[in-house]
Amino acid sequence: MARTLAGSHVVVVGATGVLGARIAAHFTAAGARVSAIVRDHTRLDGASVSQYALADVTDHAELAAAFASVAPFDGVVNASGVVAFGNVSELDDATLARLFAVNAIAPIVMLREAAPHLVDGGFFVNLSGVVAAQPVAGMAAYSASKAAAWAAMTAAARELRRRRIDVIDARPPHTETGLANRPIAGVAPKMPVGLSPDVVAARIVSAVVAGERELSAEAFTA
């Protein structure tokens, strides 16, 4: 459903990251009040974020407490995530577990814990990325963790339709966030120049306003 952001309250998880910070800034520019859920509040941009709660996204009790502390709210954007590179034959258990804990399980828990505090007609955006629908060799486990989140968001969108809550899975192409330079395992292959974080952030905000429920990779480059 279409909505206005003026006077709304939006929670950005991972607002200290390059993309999360720009998402927070764009929602603020659109008239929303932004709260953040982060691990380190000292890196927040005070001009974009009005309040914060601390939580590790893999700690489900901390996430529940964080959402409750900033409730109620009109929308949530999850901009947290980790990446790893390497073939499946090189994948260790710790890397596999971390990828799924942050990229797949955490978004599902966020939606579960946020839903009771979301106003009817609100929204939940998860950034799964292009690899969710277009898996990449050398990034099989990462692609799989993002695809799992995509599947969960797609199903949850139907579950929350009666409350008119839009669950939006955003799958932008490679974006220049610097995440590829901070993998939890492996080394990034040579990549083409990615999208600007501001372009991605602006597209997400416009989708929320327009009530779009699907943001494929093509939606960011059209």
DSSP track, 130-151: GGGTS--TT-HHHHHHHHHHHH
> What is the side-by-side order of every strand in the sheet holding 214-215?
51-54, 33-38, 9-13, 73-78, 118-127, 166-170, 214-215
Query: What are the tokens at 205?
Result: 């905000």
Low-confidence ranges of the chain (pLDDT < 50): none
pLDDT given for residue 191 in this prediction = 86
- Phi and psi (nearest 5°) for 136? -120, 135
Contact 181, 84 (CB under 8 A): no
pLDDT given for residue 1 in this prediction = 74
Tell me which H or E stretch contains 77: strand 73-78
Q: Residues 184, 97, 67, 152: is their CA dihedral positive or negative? A: positive
**Domains in the chain: ranges and CATH:** 9-220 (3.40.50.720)
Q: pTM for the complete prediction?
A: 0.96
pLDDT given for residue 213 in this prediction = 87
pLDDT given for residue 41 in this prediction = 95
pLDDT given for residue 83 in this prediction = 97
Distance set, CA 219 to CA 171, 172, 214 (Å):
9, 8, 8
